[in-house]
A = this chain, B = another copy of it.
């Protein structure tokens, strides 16, 4: 089987990781590395010596040996570059966030659909052993009905001047939530609260809640001003519950065979609810320790070859954008609940 030829555009922070993984993967070959800086190109080409380098995006688009283009440039340029690549008939992998605005994201999804090309968002976290295990526990029915998702993603963070703490940290939770929600369960609305007690000009501490279509709820706490670093997600299911603590390498995911059930009551005159509690073993499953990005590039190649939608496709990236946009609408409206009508 022939290798999938790829070009990586953007050789700054994330691009080199993509180059390294595309180069190492048996199914892909790096044809071009494209960046505006000759210096970055020189450094990056050490990671894939056989690739050509260019500062001209047209070199990439005009090369028939390029099947897919991976875009790792600043977020503001994603849409322009992706649309041009799609127009040139290239499959596209875009670093998160998919684009700057929902409108841009919709154009990208629409064009990929129209041209029958793969559009994939690089939601790297969804390819870690932890998240794949969680998604599998939910999808298999082992967790039962998903009751709530709660994430705490806080630390003494690098306060950023151009984006707030929601744009900085929430995409992780939103992409993971999108990935693990079972078939048919979607967030129906979002409300958010934030504070800027330092006076940076935008929220440094934030909270948001997403009512789910099945009666459950998702929630996250994102914070640049915490004295301790916490990366803990709790997922409640009607049959099992789990805690994912990403800072505990020896026991990242703990699955509790624990549940709460309502008992049917003979006597409907009593107000008392009969609840039964079940507590069984806790299992910390062994997790696949493969580098997540290796699976990302493999999924991109496989979806091109098999002519199918990738696991975290453009629509997934678009839904994350839609929710982020609604979060900011809610903030502007003092925390009101903003209905969501997500791309499906």
Chain A residues proximal to chain B, CB less than 8 Å: 145, 147-148, 150, 152, 154, 156, 159-162, 189, 191, 193-201, 205, 207, 209, 211-212, 214-217, 219, 221, 223-229, 234, 236, 238, 241-243, 250-251, 254, 256-258, 260-262, 271-273, 275, 277, 279-286, 334-337
Contacts and interface: CB of A to CB of B under 8 A. Distances in A.
A260 B157 CA distance: 9
A279 to B, nearest CB: 6
Nearest to A155: B250
A241 B225 contact: yes
A223 B12 CA distance: 43
A199 to B, nearest CB: 6
Nearest to A271: B161
A277 to B, nearest CB: 6
Given A152-B152, A197-B238, A201-B273, 7 more contacts: A161-B272, A191-B335, A193-B217, A198-B238, A199-B215, A282-B286, A335-B336
A197 B286 contact: no
A47 B250 CA distance: 33
Contact of A217 (B194, B217, B224): B194
Nearest to A336: B336
The 5 tightest CB contacts between A and B, nearest first, are: A147-B197, A195-B217, A227-B256, A227-B241, A193-B209
A285 B281 contact: yes
26 contacts: A145-B197, A147-B195, A148-B205, A148-B223, A150-B223, A154-B234, A156-B279, A160-B273, A193-B217, A195-B215, A195-B216, A197-B215, A197-B236, A197-B238, A209-B335, A219-B221, A225-B241, A227-B241, A227-B242, A227-B254, A257-B286, A282-B284, A283-B283, A283-B284, A284-B284, A334-B337
B194 A207 contact: no
A258 B156 contact: yes
Nearest to A280: B286
Contacts of A250: 228-229
A258 to B, nearest CB: 5
B273 A159 contact: yes
A156 B277 contact: yes
Contact of A225 (B148, B193, B209, B280): B148
A223, A242, A261: which has the most chain B beta carbons within 10 Å? A223
Most chain B beta-carbon contacts within 10 A, residue among A195, A221, A226: A195
Nearest to A258: B227
A200 B251 contact: no
Contacts of A197: 145, 147-148, 214-217, 236, 238
Contacts of A285: 281
A216 B335 CA distance: 15
A132 B285 CA distance: 24
Central interface residue in A159, A216, A275, by most chain B CB within 10 Å: A275
A242 B257 CA distance: 20
Nearest to A219: B207
A280 B227 CA distance: 11
B258 A205 contact: no
